[in-house]
Amino acid sequence: GRELLMDAALSPPCQRMGAMVAFQRFEDFKRNFDEVLSSFAEPLLENAPFSESCSAFYEEDSMKNARENPIHIINVSIKTADTEEDDALVEAFTAFAQSKKDILFEYGIRRITFLIAQKREFPKFFTFRAQDGFQEDRIYRNLEPALAFQLELNRMRNFDLKAIPCANHKMHLYLGAARVQEGAEVTDYRFFIRAIIRHSDLITKEASFEYLQNEGERLLLEAMDELEVAFSNTSVRTDCNHIFLNFVPTVIMDPSKIEESVRSMVMRYGSRLWKLRVLQAELKINIRLTTTGNAIPIRLFLTNESGYYLDISLYKEVTDPTSRQIMFQSYGDKQGPLHGMLINTPYVTKDLLQAKRFQAQTLGTTYVYDFPEMFRQALFKLWGPGDKCPKDVLMCTELVLDPEGRLVQMNRLPADNDVGMVAFRMKMKTPEYPDGREVIVICNDITHMIGSFGPH
């Protein structure tokens, strides 16, 4: 025990501090800025016994560390602003932050956020960070920084984000442009719309299900309304748009029941979601299976990239015992594609397959390599829910001409074709022929030379 105490006494002090101050007007804060900053004096200077005995070890390093890795925060609330215009407010705050930049760095200030109170409305937030040289962090405008982690913005790090103003304060909309090599053209643009749902915990299964269903549907409609407005006001063509809803309250229910409810809701608004190119959605919900059980964070992912098959995957969040990092673990019988991945895994940018698929769908048809899956879904419908449907209801291989012109069977990645004619050999198992029948399907790839149909 004594050794531990000695170790603790000799470790360099690390006190993260935050100041929350309120003023009537911005001018009042400017006049009192030095006094606010004085509360962030170096801990080493305040702790005299420590300073005298250990300053030789730590003083220089601590000063340097405070400048390189600032940790302190200032939140400033302004009751009455001179203007209601965001641009004018940002201009005033930026001018102030830039004039005080050096001293903010010196005192180890990591972030300064201005909160502007509004009558009967949600307050405005403007955040300036040390890492951006105390320029405004536009992504966090009108978003309370302390709660921003619930929007999981770091998962969009493969995209350069631009915040789009929303009439609805609950919604946070971003236009993402995929990060590409310098000089390369950006072709992957998508909207990310995100919302946090706050409410007290629900204590019965009935109330939980009713609340989730009603609130979920209302938010989906609000998200689509915001996307509709953004769609008509952007100069770039977006695809693979994404909705993320984070339900903070704990609910009591069976996760599989949510899956049924969400599927029926998506089907109800399917044509509108398709028109808005919403191909991915994600729900995060804290669930108790019983009234006395522990809350489990559950994630529900929906994808509809091909346009005719809605894939739903359920995961729970678990902590890896070795790395202590939180990861996805499939919930239920089906193992989803994110199983075993970290919870902060970024969204992937559009691949060649999705770009081709989008091109075909824009021309009003199905992408050639989506036909096998379309046949598979049709076969599942033929078998119906009561029949014992075989797992290998469809077996499919592609027929390709080799360099000598011979026809060979092979499985290759979609979009690897270099001609407009694509051929598949399929074995279909139907209720009438459970052993299966073989068919040859010849398709035309409209994305290859505007649909030029030929084997060469």
Mean pLDDT of 307-323: 84
Q: Which residues contact 292 (CB under 8 A, 6 or more apart)?
A: none
Which residues pair with residue 287 across a beta bridge? 251, 296
**Confidence check: pLDDT of 249 > 70:** yes
Contact 239, 277 (CB under 8 A): yes
Of 302, 326, 350, the one marking the end of a domain is 350
Q: Examine the pLDDT at 3 and tell me if it is beyond 60.
A: no
**Distance, CA of 39 to CA of 34 (rounded, Å):** 9
Structural domain boundaries, residue 398: 365-451
Indicate whether 46 pLDDT > 70. no
**In the predicted model, what is the mean pLDDT of residues 134-142?**
88
- Evaluate whether residue 55 is within a structural domain: no
Percentage with pLDDT > 90 across the chain: 28
CA atoms of 112 and 17, how far apart (whole Å): 12
Q: What does the alpha-carbon distance between residue 351 and residue 369 come to, in Å, rounded to a whole number? A: 14
Are 151 and 141 found together in one domain?
Answer: no
Residue 48 pLDDT grade (very low, low, confident, very high; cuts 50, 70, 90): very low
3-state secondary structure of 317: strand
What pLDDT score does 404 carry? 80
**In the predicted model, is pLDDT for residue 2 greater than 80?**
no
The CA distance from 210 to 364, in Å, is 38
Residue 60 scores a pLDDT above 70? no
Does residue 355 belong to any structural domain of this protein? no
Judgement on whether residues 33 and 159 belong to the same structural domain of the protein: no
Query: What is the tens place of the pLDDT at every residue in 190-242?
Result: 999 999 888 877 777 788 888 888 888 899 999 999 999 998 888 888 988 99
Share of the chain above pLDDT 70, in %: 88
Confidence of residue 62 (pLDDT cuts 50, 70, 90): low
Please give the structure tokens belonging to residue 454. 């030929």
Q: Are residues 29 and 170 in the same domain?
A: no
Cβ(72)–Cβ(110) below 8 Å? yes
Sheet with 437-444, edge to edge strand ranges: 407-410, 394-401, 421-428, 437-444
Q: Residues 330, 374: one domain?
A: no
Q: Are residues 327 and 299 in the same domain?
A: yes
Identify the pLDDT of residue 410: 76
pLDDT of residue 16: 81
Q: Per the domain annotation, does 51 fall within a domain?
A: no
The DSSP-derived string for 362-404 is HTTS--GGGHHHHHHHHHHHHHTTTS---TTSEEEEEEEE-TT
Statement to judge: residues 81 and 164 lie in one domain: no
- Judge residue 143's burial from the number of C-beta atoms within 10 Å of its C-beta, 0-12 exposed, 13-18 middle, 19 or more buried: buried
| Ordered DSSP codes for 409-424 | EE---TT--SSSEEEE
142 pLDDT more than 80: yes
Closest C-alpha among 167, 77, 171 to residue 124: 77
Query: Is residue 437 in a domain?
Result: yes
Tokens for 442, please give them: 């010849």
Domain co-membership, 345 together with 431 = no
**Which residues are registered as beta bridge partners of 313?**
301
**Extended strands (E) in 8-142:** 18-23, 72-78, 109-118, 121-129
Q: Is residue 356 part of a domain?
A: no
- Distance CA(364)–CA(98), nearest Å, equals 52
Last residue of a domain, one of 87, 115, 145: 145
Q: How many domains does the chain have?
A: 3
58 pLDDT more than 70: no
pLDDT confidence band for 42 (50 / 70 / 90): low
In this prediction, residue 11 carries a pLDDT of 43
24-41 pLDDT, tens per residue?
999 999 999 999 988 886
Boundary of a domain, candidates 117, 145, 173: 145
Does residue 201 form part of some domain?
A: yes
Over residues 324-368, the pLDDT tens digits come to 888 899 888 787 888 888 888 888 887 667 778 888 888 888 888
Same domain membership, residue 376 and residue 342: no
Based on the fold, state whether residues 157 and 293 are members of the same structural domain: yes
Verify that 253 and 323 share a domain, yes or no.
yes
Mean pLDDT of 379-395: 81
- pLDDT at residue number 173: 93
Establish if 428 belongs to a structural domain: yes
HSE, CB side, 13 Å, CA atoms: give it for residue 35: 7
Q: Are residues 158 and 130 in the same domain?
A: no
73 in any annotated domain: yes
The CA distance from 274 to 307, in Å, is 7
Distance CA 209, CA 82 (A): 46
Q: Are residues 371 and 414 in the same domain?
A: yes
303, 338 in Cβ contact below 8 A? no
Quick one: tokens of 429? 């198992």
